[in-house]
Amino acid sequence: MDHSTLRTVQVTRYVTPLREGGSLPAIAEADDGFLYALKFRGAGQGSKALIAELVGGEIARALGFRVPEIVFAQLDEAFGRTEPDEEIQDLLRASTGLNLALHYLSGAITFDPAVTRPDALLASQIVWLDCLLTNVDRTAKNTNMLMWHNDLWLIDHGASLYFHHTWDDWEAQAIKPFVRIKDHVLLARASALDDADKTLKNKLTLPVIEHIVQQIPDAWLADADGQSPEAAREVYRQFLTMRVAASEVFVNEAKDARERIV
């Protein structure tokens, strides 16, 4: 198991927005010469989306899924002053400091369930992952998966872990079924959920969870309902640990939801 720590890169050039929308992610170049899909701390849900992206993406990687390399992306105060678009300039100014980026998969195409049909086990494992993370954003409308060199890659986990947007009753949230799984793009193909559960919950050990959570920067935890950064990390640790232990609950919900559509 790779327990490496995320690299930090310096953003050197804003290339282009990735798509329209409130979060305005962008393609940017860094000082290592590579292009990245840059997610800004000053956008949309702010640092909580970056935390979900980091935790969700690195858990997916630890479980064996293909995920583009995730890096911390440092944005200097002077960066973007020459950007002509005022909205983008405001975004860059609000994002000074540490942001998050994923290695840009040049030439990748959006996953199309009508064209690519993952086998039952892979589909079930992705459904299991999204139940664990409470990821509301892997639907037919927005699959958040890419095909690159004939392989399936998972991206965009920023809509996961939605308990942290309120911090209320997180213990109860940790052991609840994930009812939004009914909208998952791969649910109909997920006929091996029990096998996925046995395999993945054994991979997601406490040391793996602790290593991933420990990488959340203090600065991103500043608005964690008045908690200290370490106290907030402990909530993430416990939430994920409890959720893995209670996986039968969300697996059963997924199986029930699947029965209603097949």
| CA atoms of 47 and 4, how far apart (whole Å) | 22
pLDDT value of position 22: 53
Distances (CA, A) of 167 to 51, 90, 219, 231: 14, 28, 17, 12
Domain-wise residue ranges, the chain = 8-103, 109-259
Q: Which residues of the chain have pLDDT under 70?
A: 1-4, 19-23, 80, 223-224
DSSP per position, 26-51: EEEEETTS-EEEEE-TTSTTTHHHHH
Q: Cα–Cα distance between 118 and 190 in angstroms, integer?
A: 9
Q: Which residues pair with 47 in a beta bridge?
A: none
Question: Widest CA span of the chain, in angstroms?
Answer: 55
Interval 244-262: pLDDT, tens? 999 999 999 999 999 999 8
pLDDT in tens, 191-210: 999 999 999 999 999 999 99
Residue 210 in contact with residue 233, Cβ under 8 Å? no
**Mean pLDDT over all residues of the chain?**
93
Question: In this predicted structure, what is the pLDDT of residue 78?
Answer: 78
Put the strands of the sheet holding 109-110 in their side by side order.
109-110, 145-148, 151-154
pLDDT at 1: 42
pLDDT at 20: 52
Cα 183 to Cα 141: distance, rounded to the nearest angstrom: 9
